[in-house]
Amino acid sequence: MQLPIFQMLYVSGAVGPVSESSIDQILATSRRNNAVAGITGLLLVADEIFVQVLEGDREAVLGLASRIRADRRHRNFMVLVETQAAERAFGAWHMGFKRLDPGRAEDQVVFRATAAAINQRIGRADGGLMLHAVLAFGRDMIASD
């Protein structure tokens, strides 16, 4: 019997400006560590706000979330959704990443395409709460046409 996948969606704010080099370091470290821990997910960054979905073994995800909460680069860490799913929504990525820029037309187009893909990938076992939270974040950060 396969155990369900634990999924967590959280938001936090950056304590200071988030440079491209600091994001590159975070992603390199996260991808390496997540591969070892069996964690997959997606990180969205916009206006110094982090929105991240983590998925994998419950204890591994909770341990990582605890380390992120204690990281001095984060403030106002808040878990929005914890749920279980039969399969991973972001299984192809040890840490997928997108920096959303509401001023870039390319991001608006990419996000709309990504929203459709996310809609097909995120399970509805939680009543669609995780899907709606991810999509709401994107709508709030990207200007409407």
Report pLDDT digits (tens) over 21-61.
989 999 999 999 999 999 999 998 877 788 899 999 999 99
| Residue 110 scores a pLDDT above 60 | no
Q: Which residues contact 108 (CB under 8 A, 6 or more apart)?
A: 102, 142, 143, 145
Give the model's pLDDT for residue 58: 96
Question: Side chain identity at 136, as an amino acid letter?
Answer: A
For the domain made up of 5-141, give the CATH fold. Alpha-Beta Plaits (3.30.70)
Q: What dihedral do alpha carbons 29, 44, 91, 61 form, nearest 10°?
A: 60
| Residue 142 scores a pLDDT above 50 | no
Which pLDDT band, with edges at 50, 70 and 90, does 19 fall under? confident
Reported as a single tens digit per residue, the pLDDT across 58-103 is: 999 999 999 999 999 888 888 888 989 888 988 888 998 887 766 6
For the chain, what is the mean pLDDT? 79
Cβ(19)–Cβ(48) under 8 Å?
Answer: no
Q: Kindly list the domain boundaries of the chain, sorted by start residue.
A: 5-141
